[in-house]
Amino acid sequence: MTLVVRRAAPADLEAALDVWRAANEARGRAPSPARVERVRTKLAAADAVVVIGTDGDEAVAMGLAEPGRADDGAGAPVAGYGHVSMVFVHPGRWGRGHGALIVAALHEGWARTTLWTRTDNARARRLYEKAGYRPTGRTSTLAEGDGIMQLEWVR
């Protein structure tokens, strides 16, 4: 079947969470119960733009974008600016181009988006670079020691 990407309805949020969880577990990053609850809250936020990719009745991909904010996310929303927080594909569907469709759907409505990704996540970096993202030069380190880098896409 062909992947259908659409804006998620409230009834889709648990399926999106399941895709997120499965992808993290497949990468050896099983989330804690507290992390699962934080992601559930982000998906249900009033300003969240959640998209879901389905194949028939099965959710196989998901993405989340939020309004980009000034002051590294602590300030007011910036018009036309979105921040991509999540793009995940069920591991049984990796390598089929589903991530690219999710990213494209998350660009709708924004003139510019940014995201952060682990520097060692070659699969994600290839996806984002093919979608037109470019490194901003900003890097950081997560609490567990993983390096991350910021990427930017401009319409």
56 belongs to a structural domain: yes
144 belongs to a structural domain: no
49 belongs to a structural domain: yes
79 belongs to a structural domain: yes
The overall pTM is greater than 0.85? yes
- Domain extent for 21: 4-111
120 belongs to a structural domain: no
Instruction: Establish how many alpha carbons lie within 13 A of residue 115's alpha carbon, considering only the half-sphere containing its beta carbon.
Output: 24
134 belongs to a structural domain: no
51: CATH: 3.40.630.30
Number of domains making up the chain: 1
pLDDT of 3 strictly over 90? yes
150 belongs to a structural domain: no
State the pLDDT confidence band at 1, using cuts at 50, 70 and 90. low
Question: What pLDDT, in 10s, does the model give residues 37-66?
Answer: 999 999 999 999 999 999 998 999 999 999
Question: What pLDDT, in 10s, does the model give residues 90-108?
Answer: 999 999 999 999 999 999 9
130 belongs to a structural domain: no
